[in-house]
Amino acid sequence: MSYNNILLSSNNGVANLSINRPKKLNALNKETLDELHAAFADLEKDAEIKVVILTGSGDKAFVAGADISEFAHFSEEEGGRLAAEGHEKVFDFIENLSKPVIAAVNGFALGGGLELAMACHIRVASQNARMGLPEVSLGVIPGYGGTQRLPRLIGKGRAMELIMTAGMIDADRALSYGLVNHVVPQGQLLDFCGELAGKISNNSPVAISYAIKAINAGFKNSNGYAAEIAAFGACFGTEDFKEGTSAFLEKRKADFPGR
């Protein structure tokens, strides 16, 4: 499938997906959101892909926000539908993907851009990254999961302050808050994410998919412990479990069937 606003390539089981609207600082418009959904849906079904790295084209922005020109004149009903469709097609879809998604946050990640990064499973920031949710300065609130995911990641008080001041924080502050996992020089960002993806790819893709499901369950209106128990038990019926335990007992490196 060809795309107008994203670039997609893969190598050794790792997909590299880049939002490619550098003149618009990679702002999310409807077409881009639709293309992201299509790309992630294809990656989910691709047995060769084990990890996805998501970033933005250029050196200025991961995603600088949503394309305000598309919704500035929306009604209440249209605004609600915009948020609901965004959750379903992209943000919740990424969060619940069975394959790990690493956000390589280069430059600005604001509004919908930060919400996109937060929907990913792991976040790595370049030293020039700047993050924030400025929506209240436009008379609206974060609508793509920002009011829910940010407090889970950095705590309620810090999230309240960041959202209500519409301010930005730099990469080091984001690291100290727990908003990102690592901060690296900009020139090393994609290589670092690639190395991290490689470490993940060495492990059982089936077990990783169950781990994602169990972890997410604990942050939803469900019993995370029950989900963990069910997922743990399900692993025992997989070929990956048989190979992993056999390799351990035989003192060799596992060759998981899913890889």
Choose the catalytic residue: 31, 70, 115, 243.
115
- Number of other residues whose CB lies within 10 A of the CB of residue 63: 30
Would residue 70 show up in a list of annotated catalytic residues for this protein?
no
Residue with tokens 């915009």: 82
Residue with tokens 């003192």: 251
Choose the catalytic residue: 135, 161, 239, 250.
135
Would residue 135 show up in a list of annotated catalytic residues for this protein?
yes
Which positions are annotated as active-site residues? 115, 135
